[in-house]
Amino acid sequence: MSQIVDLNINNLKESYEFNKVARQADGAVFYRQGKAVLLATVTLDKQSSGEDFLPLTVQYIEKAYAATKIPGGFIKRESKPSDFETLTARIIDRALRPLFPKDFSNGVVINVTVLSSDSSVDLQIAALNAANAAVLVSSLPIKKSIAAVRVGKIDGKVLHNLNLIEQQKSTLDLLVVGSGEDIAMIEMRAISSSSSSEHQVNELEKDEFISILAKVTKDISEASTNYEKEFLPLKSTDIFKVTYNEINREVLTLIESQYHDKLNIAIEHIAKSERSDALDRLLVEIKDDIESSDSLDFNSLDVVDAFSKAVKSRVREMLLDGKRLDNRELDEVREITIETNILPSVHGSTLFTRGQTQALVTATLGDGKDSQMYELLTSSSAKNEHLMVHYNFPPYSVGEARPIGAPSRRELGHGNLAKRALEPTVILDNNQTIRLVSEILESNGSSSMATVCGGSLSLYCSDVNVKKLTAGIAMGVVVENSEKYSILTDIMGAEDHYGDMDFKVAATKDGITALQLDIKLDGLNLNILNEALNQALKGLEHILSIMEEAKEKIVPSGALPIVVTFNIDSSSIPIIIGKGGSTIREIIEKFNVSIDLNRDLGEVKVSGSDVDNLDSAKDYILNLISKESKEITKYELNVVYKGTVKRCVDFGFFVEMPDGYDALLHNSKVPNDLKKDINEGDVIEIMVASQKDKRVELVLA
């Protein structure tokens, strides 16, 4: 028998129905909010993977029929997930992963499917809440609930859980997920706004951010408590009993006592590759010693697990004692070098190197037709993305011998984070498209933040209209028993791997533009977060000062398009466009240029790589407007005129009449044997066959 739970929490009216559908899954819920209906299911692999990580898979799927649509393209069924679906799945994964017991290693699959959409419902919040409910009632050994709050800001007023229509007016997008008083995940971005006179970046100041979080955590605590109260009584009575792979304490004691000094020496190699090689050699040495010993008889897998545990314990112990793997201070940023416009045939490029992390970020400029078209389930029409940030993480960047494949979820997520950081600072001209591509050439922590730094400078390198420089930094926190902790600035890969928090912050000199936080613990209190943010802003100030010096030394790329801008009467814009866009296409093809028209300002922007072509295109446009704007002569029929052939086209010839007007001599009016003899610049005798308004047709005299 199905059970329905209706809730009204944090400005959301939700309905959860259990035991109605997907009853063979370990947990399932039929979720409703407005007209939106989602199905969330949880399934569990009863056999442990034996790995030292949680093999959790999350899929978020939007069905086209949910919005009364048929998928576009040749194949009329859902296939590859959209970026929005992928990013939403990542959010659900990051929010729910901290709930699982430590060392839980059974495979878990969470599926959230949108069956009916609502143009005003925030589907990410709906998907999070549905997935959370399915987990709570499942057989998984989880009894803590998460809760999510989306914070917006309209006219300076902070609001919670805005609907999609309200979000379009907001200057802030802040998603906070937590459990009780603890924060589990944060995603934040500033949203720029433009008035008739000024572009506002709308960064969020640190103190306001902390103040908002303090209020949000209270709502999250109340909501998560209510979810637990309503859903846990419905939990499966057959709770899955987890069998953990216990570390062999005897092996662990042996490694920590007899190989303590060698372990320290191996860990303290500054270079990532050297440290990895040294640890591999030490593990082989320990295995060989055990195998050759008459008194020791340990399983090889037990040795590997104990060695991994010993390495993790030692690294965390070092970090908690204030000693970092590369001997930096806790708040010290690695050495930074920046080279700009190093690629001669690229509009803009920056090689940003910080320690052993290196990003080559390029900028390519295009016009409106180069934008990325995409569809959202909650939108009635297609949208266009005019600023794209594509992040690539090739295996060679971490020394792996694998071929490069399609972009992963991680690559899409990192590119999206960098875009959110940079987008508020970019002022896009009408009909302009920008594509940033980050090639990670070397990685040892925080390559997404290197992408932000390199991307911001590449925008300046390509002479894009940018309001401010943006830098990014990754922070880490290591916590022991909720009392002893260390906050690490500009974390390396190993510090991220063995730490408890990954905290990425992007900001201009005036405030935060984007932020992403993930917790591996049950949660993190606000005081530690505030301290980490203060330390992050100090590091960002240092990075921005180095970027500012690099910006001042930028030499423009020789590949940048040349732009000629001039103004005309806005009423003449239709003359340039022509019927169905035929005239503007003709000018673009004839002179190999791009044309951007601003109707409001009466501005024409012509860009290309050849100065002569730009000048010719400008003269052509002005001449065209002049001819079209003046009164046309009323020509006499059957009177012979002398005209100059201005242009030869597939369908005939445009001939300049004595008064400067271009008239058409169609192919059908010219004998076949004469067509090849008529060339541009020839003066020929013609007669006017017909004239209607400004359309004049000629025949040979």
| Number of residues that make up the chain | 701
Bridge-based pairing state of the strands 501-508 and 511-519: antiparallel
Domain presence at residue 255: yes
Specify the CATH number for the domain of residue 693. Answer: 2.40.50.140
Strand stretches in 165-267, DSSP E: 172-179, 182-190, 193-194, 199-200
Tell me the C-alpha distance between 259 and 282, whole Å.
Answer: 9
Alpha carbon of residue 399 to chain centroid: 25
The residue with tokens 């906070």 is 176
CB 61 within 8 A of CB 47: no
Per-residue confidence (pLDDT) for residue 595, from 0 to 100: 87
Could you tell me if 427 and 485 lie in one domain?
A: yes
Q: Which of 552, 587, 606 is where one domain is finished?
A: 552
Could you tell me if 498 and 593 lie in one domain?
A: no
Domain presence at residue 557: no
Q: Which of 267, 294, 320 is where one domain is finished?
A: 320
Could you tell me if 85 and 224 lie in one domain?
A: yes
Could you tell me if 507 and 584 lie in one domain?
A: no
Could you tell me if 667 and 690 lie in one domain?
A: yes
Domain presence at residue 136: yes
The pTM for the full model equals 0.83
Alpha carbon of residue 236 to chain centroid: 38
Per-residue confidence (pLDDT) for residue 32, from 0 to 100: 98
Q: Which of 572, 595, 629 is where one domain is finished?
A: 629
Per-residue confidence (pLDDT) for residue 675, from 0 to 100: 83
Could you tell me if 75 and 224 lie in one domain?
A: yes
Domain presence at residue 372: yes
Specify the CATH number for the domain of residue 483. Answer: 3.30.230.70
Could you tell me if 390 and 272 lie in one domain?
A: no
DSSP state of 375: -
Per-residue confidence (pLDDT) for residue 247, from 0 to 100: 82
Give the tens place of pLDDT for each residue, 367-397: 888 899 888 888 878 889 999 999 999 999 9
Domain count, the chain: 5
Per-residue confidence (pLDDT) for residue 457, from 0 to 100: 98
Domain presence at residue 677: yes
Could you tell me if 108 and 56 lie in one domain?
A: yes
Could you tell me if 493 and 346 lie in one domain?
A: yes
Could you tell me if 440 and 531 lie in one domain?
A: yes
Which residue stretches of the chain have pLDDT < 70?
Answer: 195-197, 270, 482, 522-523, 628-633, 693-694
Could you tell me if 528 and 669 lie in one domain?
A: no
Specify the CATH number for the domain of residue 599. Answer: 3.30.1370.10
Could you tell me if 625 and 645 lie in one domain?
A: no
Domain presence at residue 190: no
DSSP state of 134: H
Domain presence at residue 316: yes
Domain region containing 690:
640-700
Per-residue confidence (pLDDT) for residue 36, from 0 to 100: 97
